[in-house]
């Protein structure tokens, strides 16, 4: 734990607090400099963040022959009918400048012998447009550069080892955040004029995920409890090719492998994607994830075969995936990799506008914890790091314009049980199993109602505010999934398998509305049978 101001003998923080030490949080804080800002993070900055695990890279239409229009068209096509075109246009248009910023921070994107940036191809992109580092190490390299930059920036104060629990409000606007030391203890109220939520995704609400354990949907839970509107919570992206070796979190086999020609086969050795989509292995992620889910459900299994397309070049081209495979006793140069879908990204989140503003005055958000509308119902590969840098910069610019002068603030011990030891392991495991089984790749009414009943039961016995945030986020996802009686992108209902024109729109939902959906569904069907 590291509270600079505390070590100096007095509690001080800044009037702008960024919550989260992943890509979006760090980029936002750096962009605010030299204006003062505090970063409050659960782990030392850069750790516990999905960004550091990203293998693909950042999509940006910067090669000759590529265009913003083409990147936009691919983003809209992948998004399955609900992309906010104006927001997506902002995202793809700002891409070149943000990649330039990362180069300035020293990110060593791969280049060819002539010094030009090398681009990889990923599913549903019509061009090679993903800048990457050493093949599959983009996230780690970007985070190393940004952590270094943050630690050298005197205007950024770090409050590490604190878990955000509740956003406080007064007179209709945000007044601060209550956070507790990660290991337990007395909560502290950090007053603030502006809070920026950059707490990442929701992976740890699911039993099978590619995200680090810190991705537990805290930002969505806190924002919803404070009254913010949540966008598109039902749209959850399952990455098709997590390596299925029973590890938690599940290691990822990047989509760039399929971009290089790797194929998907079942245990008979039959390639199954060409019969499902004309783009075969390069179909949008939701399509490939469902196809793999169905092969596994039918008992045929699914494997990523890289032996012909990549073969002996695997260790050098994809060192991270190669390491994961070797740790599991698999040699991807010679044998197919067993794969299965795993929760990977949340298209939904805190509803924000082009400036990163939420519906609560004084609350901004950026990165995966938001729902900007740029991804619609299904995110295009390597648009996630892009969204994080684009909208964190926009949020920083907006905050600086609104509050040009900074103020020191004085945190105080907050009311609240000092003996809140955090989530109970068995309850978390039950929630995760429920979400994977009933709110996973394929859903139906019976499973969603069962999930809402389990969430209600877990809420009744819960004494942990942190677990309460997890349950709130899970409830929003399950309730919105129950209400959306169609299939679209990352929301597949086996009882409503088609997309419906009346549902060709985003979801905007408050916690009260989610509770109304749950209350309406539960009385008749409350039986919980895990």
Q: Is 302 left (phi over 0), alpha (psi -120 to 50) or beta?
A: beta
At its nearest, how many Å lie between ligand SIN and the CB of residue 182?
27
Stretch that binds ligand SIN, among 51-59, 242-250, 297-305, 456-464 (CB under 6 A): 51-59
The only residue of 215, 358, 382, 473 in contact with ligand SIN, by rule CB under 6 A = 382
Tokens, residue 507:
């979801």
Residue 196 CA to residue 399 CA, distance in Å, equals 9
Sequential DSSP letters for 465-498? HHHHHHHHHHHHHHHHHHH--S-BTTB-BTTB-S
At its nearest, how many Å lie between ligand SIN and the CB of residue 215?
13
Residue 377 CA to residue 380 CA, distance in Å, equals 10
Residue 40 CA to residue 90 CA, distance in Å, equals 28
φ, ψ of residue 255 in degrees (nearest 5): -65, -20
Is 434 near ligand SIN (CB under 6 A)?
Answer: no
Closest CA to 454 of 426, 491, 489: 426
Tokens, residue 87:
């927001």
Residue with tokens 């030299």: 34
Q: Dihedral sign for Cα 72, 509, 201, 399, please.
A: positive
* Contacts of ligand SIN in 319-378 (CB under 6 A): 344-345
Catalytic residues: 285
Number of residues that bind ligand SIN (CB under 6 A): 11
For the chain, how far is it from start to end, CA to CA, in angstroms?
Answer: 38
Q: Which residue is nearest to ligand SIN (CB)?
A: 56
Is 381 near ligand SIN (CB under 6 A)?
Answer: yes
At its nearest, how many Å lie between ligand SIN and the CB of residue 256?
6
Residue 416 CA to residue 186 CA, distance in Å, equals 7
Site string for ligand SIN, 202-241 (x = CB under 6 A): ----------------------------------------
At its nearest, how many Å lie between ligand SIN and the CB of residue 55?
4
Closest CB to ligand SIN among 187 and 249?
249
At its nearest, how many Å lie between ligand SIN and the CB of residue 128?
14
Stretch that binds ligand SIN, among 215-223, 248-256, 298-306, 314-322 (CB under 6 A): 248-256
The only residue of 211, 372, 384, 469 in contact with ligand SIN, by rule CB under 6 A = 384
Q: Dihedral sign for Cα 50, 53, 56, 57, please.
A: positive
The only residue of 38, 211, 215, 254 in contact with ligand SIN, by rule CB under 6 A = 254
Largest distance between two CA atoms of the chain: 67
Site string for ligand SIN, 256-285 (x = CB under 6 A): x-----------------------------
Interacting residues with ligand SIN (CB under 6 A): 54-56, 254-256, 344-345, 381-382, 384
């Amino acid at each position: 734990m590291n509270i600079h101001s505390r070590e100096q003998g007095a509690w001080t923080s800044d009037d702008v607090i960024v919550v989260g030490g992943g890509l979006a949080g760090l980029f936002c804080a750096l962009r605010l400099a030299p204006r003062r800002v505090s970063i409050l993070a659960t782990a030392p900055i850069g750790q516990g963040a999905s960004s550091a695990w990203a293998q693909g890279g950042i999509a940006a239409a910067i090669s000759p022959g590529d265009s913003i229009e083409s990147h936009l068209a691919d983003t809209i096509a992948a998004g399955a009918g609900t992309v906010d075109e104006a927001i997506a246009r902002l995202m793809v248009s700002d891409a070149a400048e943000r990649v330039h910023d990362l180069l300035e921070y020293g990110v060593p994107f791969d280049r060819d012998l002539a010094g030009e940036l090398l681009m990889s191809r990923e599913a549903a992109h019509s061009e090679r447009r993903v800048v990457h580092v050493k093949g599959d190490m983009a996230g780690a390299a970007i985070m190393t550069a940004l952590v270094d930059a943050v630690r050298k920036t005197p205007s950024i104060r770090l409050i590490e080892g604190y878990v955000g629990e509740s956003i406080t409000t007064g007179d209709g606007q945000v007044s601060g955040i209550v956070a507790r030391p990660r290991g337990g203890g007395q909560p502290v109220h950090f007053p603030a004029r502006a809070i920026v939520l950059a707490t990442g995704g929701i992976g740890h609400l699911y039993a099978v995920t590619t995200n680090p354990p810190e991705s537990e949907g805290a930002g969505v839970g806190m924002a919803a409890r404070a009254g913010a509107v949540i966008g598109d919570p039902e749209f959850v992206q399952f990455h098709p090719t997590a390596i299925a070796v029973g590890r938690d979190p599940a290691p990822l086999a990047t989509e760039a492998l399929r971009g290089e020609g790797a194929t998907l086969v079942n245990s008979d050795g039959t390639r199954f994607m060409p019969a499902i989509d004309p783009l075969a292995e390069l179909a949008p992620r939701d399509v490939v994830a469902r196809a793999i889910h169905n092969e596994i459900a039918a008992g045929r299994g699914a494997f990523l075969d890289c032996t012909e397309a990549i073969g002996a070049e695997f260790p050098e081209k994809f060192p991270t995936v190669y390491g994961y495979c070797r740790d599991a006793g698999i040699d991807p140069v010679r044998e197919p990799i067993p794969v299965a879908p795993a929760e990977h990204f949340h298209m939904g989140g805190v509803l924000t506008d082009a400036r990163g503003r939420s519906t609560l005055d004084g609350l901004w958000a950026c990165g995966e914890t938001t729902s900007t509308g740029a991804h619609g119902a299904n995110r295009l590969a390597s648009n996630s790091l892009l969204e994080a840098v684009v909208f964190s910069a926009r949020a920083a610019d907006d905050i600086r314009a609104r509050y040009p002068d900074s103020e020191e603030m004085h945190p105080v011990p907050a009311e609240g049980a000092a003996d809140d030891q955090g989530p109970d392991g068995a309850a978390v495991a039950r929630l995760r199993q429920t979400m994977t089984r009933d709110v996973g790749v394929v859903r139906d009414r019976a499973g969603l109602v069962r999930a809402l009943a389990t969430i209600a039961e877990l809420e009744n016995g819960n004494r942990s505010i942190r677990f309460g945030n997890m349950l709130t986020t899970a409830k929003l996802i399950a309730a919105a999934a129950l209400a959306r009686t169609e299939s679209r992108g990352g929301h597949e209902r086996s009882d409503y398998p088609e997309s419906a024109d009346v549902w060709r729109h985003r979801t905007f939902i408050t916690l009260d509305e989610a509770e109304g959906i749950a209350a309406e569904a539960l009385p008749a069907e409350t039986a919980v049978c895990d």
